[in-house]
């Protein structure tokens, strides 16, 4: 990396313009390189006065008691996914601090969760039963994607080489200038990775290289992105459907 | 207040130390989070998450390697950015929760709030206003290149290049 591109990377990480993967990369580099860590810290200090321009807002009632309750429950938040691999001074969430989409939303829509699960289980059983009779391919995992209302919108079948067949179960509402993009998280604690675009707005099969074989519980989702795909290479638009993979019954 | 000592105390399980940090910085952190997330309810979530992370990562904090207060804000900012980039933003909410302050006003107030004697303020002064606003919008509001491009109605590549040139000028001015 050239000196200038490293400086730009540091600036963009501090400003918040860098992608999660770039941020994680810089945090990893800084964890091993005290000189780089010092430069990163220096740039952070440079912009920190802007934080002090935000007027303080009193914390809501009960803030501390809610926080207190969370301190002992390791799995109550995506925030707990931090690991020792994050740089000591990074303060960053790194690649391991990414909160998965469903989980973060669930905090606001907890009541829907039970419905999601029940619908998913029922529909999935129906599909796996029917599908295994009519498809010759042997997907290693099958994922039913549900929209925020809990309706099944797509079935995703993923082969060991990550060839991924997406069967839309509902006619998607894709506004002009936008496209459906399919994502997965091969590493649950890592960033989402694009599997490709469903450019013509219909079901399709996507092939991708370089990912580990999909596993049960792996997250899949489809988001709406600007034509040509997400400009940040991470999901930016609303979620059309999201779900976790299941291994088919054999 | 000795923030570093408080963080070190958190690492040994001292909840009073965490409470002291919450009392000292929670309000400001709520302000920073609200400015980025534009919603009081999400801002509280972000500040809560940030303090949970502070609690869990306190053992990784190294006072020799940087500002303790800065460490709190870096954790908070990263949490807010993750929420901005990842979460579905369609969840209905009380209108009262949503901050509708127009963007130019938010940026002007951040910029105006910088002490005129600071290097950052003086060097931002030297940038052309659209570039300055782009840099402020990214730090203060967590806007992505794409969001800045949309607001300026400019192509994404042009905006990225403009921000990079602005950052180079800023670095040269500040060094």
* Interface pTM, i.e. ipTM: 0.94
Mean pLDDT of chain A, nearest integer: 77
* Least reliable range by pLDDT among A81-85, A109-113, A140-144, B8-12: A81-85
Number of domains chain A is built from:
2
Please identify, among A97, A121, A144, the residue that sits at the C-terminal boundary of a domain.
A97
pLDDT digits (tens, 9 = 90+) for A85-112: 333 344 444 433 334 444 444 444 444 4
A 104-133 → B contacts, CB under 8 A: 104-105, 107-109
Using a CB-CB cut-off of 8 Å, the residues of chain B touching A93 are: 53, 75, 78-79, 82
A107 and A63 belong to one structural domain = no
A143 and A200 belong to one structural domain = yes
How many other β-carbons are positioned within 10 Å of the β-carbon of residue A195? 22
pLDDT digits (tens, 9 = 90+) for A40-53: 999 999 999 999 99
Q: Are A152 and A172 in contact (CB under 8 A)?
A: no
A47 and A119 belong to one structural domain = no
A215 and A115 belong to one structural domain = yes
Please identify, among A55, A71, A97, the residue that sits at the C-terminal boundary of a domain.
A97
CATH topology of domain B101-174: Arc Repressor Mutant, subunit A (1.10.10)
Q: Are A91 and B75 in contact (CB under 8 A)?
A: yes
Query: A69: nearest CA in chain B?
Result: B52
User: What's the mean pLDDT in A132-143?
Assistant: 63
A184 and A124 belong to one structural domain = yes
Interchain proximity B65–A44, CB inside 8 Å: no
Using a CB-CB cut-off of 8 Å, the residues of chain A touching B45 are: 107
Question: What pLDDT is recorded for position A147?
Answer: 86
Q: Are B30 and B49 in contact (CB under 8 A)?
A: no
Element at A156 (helix H, strand E): strand A152-158
What are the extents of the domains in chain B? Answer: 3-96, 101-174
Q: Which of B30, B60, B171 sits opposite A59 (nearest CB)?
A: B30
Q: Is residue A249 assigned to a domain?
A: no
Alpha carbon separation from B131 to A137, A214, B63, B108, B125 (Å, rounded): 53, 43, 35, 14, 11
Interchain proximity B81–A16, CB inside 8 Å: yes
Structural domain of residue A129, as residue ranges?
Answer: 101-244
Report the distance separating Cα A247 and Cα A227, nearest Å.
33
Question: What pLDDT is recorded for position A20?
Answer: 82
Give residue B11's pLDDT band: very low, low, confident or very high (50, 70, 90): very high
Query: B117: nearest CA in chain A?
Result: A49
pLDDT digits (tens, 9 = 90+) for A152-174: 899 999 888 888 999 998 888 88
Query: B10: nearest CA in chain A?
Result: A71
Q: Which of B83, B110, B164 sits opposite A50 (nearest CB)?
A: B110
Element at A189 (helix H, strand E): none
CA distance, residue A102 to nearest chain B CA (Å): 9
Report the distance separating Cα A1 and Cα A9, nearest Å.
10
* CATH architecture under which domain B3-96 falls: Orthogonal Bundle (1.10)
Nearest residue to A157 (alpha-carbon basis) of A132, A182, A133, A140: A140
């Amino acid at each position: 990396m050239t000196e200038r591109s490293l400086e730009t990377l540091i600036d963009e990480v501090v400003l918040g313009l860098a992608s999660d993967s770039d941020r994680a990369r810089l945090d990893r580099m800084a964890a091993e390189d005290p000189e780089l860590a010092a430069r990163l810290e220096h740039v952070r200090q440079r912009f920190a006065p802007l934080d002090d321009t935000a007027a303080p807002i009193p914390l809501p009632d009960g803030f501390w008691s809610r926080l207190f309750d969370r301190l002992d429950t390791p799995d109550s938040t995506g925030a707990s996914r931090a690991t020792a691999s994050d740089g000591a001074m990074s303060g960053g969430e790194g690649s391991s601090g990414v909160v998965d989409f469903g989980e973060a939303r669930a905090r606001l829509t907890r009541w829907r969760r039970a419905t999601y699960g029940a619908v998913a289980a029922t529909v999935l059983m129906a599909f796996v039963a029917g599908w295994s009779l009519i498809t010759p391919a042997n997907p290693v995992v099958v994922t039913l994607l549900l929209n925020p209302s809990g309706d099944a919108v797509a079935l995703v079948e993923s082969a060991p080489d990550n060839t991924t067949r997406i069967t839309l179960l509902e006619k998607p509402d894709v506004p002009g200038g936008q496209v459906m993009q399919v994502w997965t998280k091969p590493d649950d604690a890592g960033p989402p990775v694009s599997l490709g675009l469903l450019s013509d707005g219909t079901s399709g099969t996507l092939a991708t290289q370089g990912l580990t074989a999909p596993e049960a519980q792996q997250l899949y989702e489809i988001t709406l992105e600007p034509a040509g795909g997400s400009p940040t290479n991470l999901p930016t638009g609303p979620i059309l459907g999201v779900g976790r993979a299941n291994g088919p019954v054999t | 207040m000795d923030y570093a000592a408080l963080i070190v105390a958190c690492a040994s399980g001292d909840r009073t130390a965490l409470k002291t940090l919450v009392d000292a910085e929670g309000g400001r952190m709520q302000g920073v989070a609200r400015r980025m997330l534009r919603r009081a309810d999400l801002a509280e979530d972000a500040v809560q998450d940030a303090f949970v992370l502070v609690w869990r990562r306190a053992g990784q904090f190294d006072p020799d390697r940087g500002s303790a207060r800065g460490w709190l804000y870096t954790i908070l900012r990263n949490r807010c950015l993750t929420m901005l980039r990842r979460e579905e933003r369609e969840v209905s909410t009380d209108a009262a929760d949503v901050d509708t302050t127009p963007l130019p006003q938010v940026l002007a107030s951040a910029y105006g709030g910088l002490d005129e004697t600071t290097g950052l303020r003086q060097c931002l002064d030297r940038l052309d206003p659209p570039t300055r606003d782009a840099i402020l919008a990214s730090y203060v509001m967590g806007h992505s290149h794409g969001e800045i491009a949309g607001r300026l109605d400019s192509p994404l590549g042009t905006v990225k290049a403009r921000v990079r040139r602005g950052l180079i000028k800023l670095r040269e001015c500040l060094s």
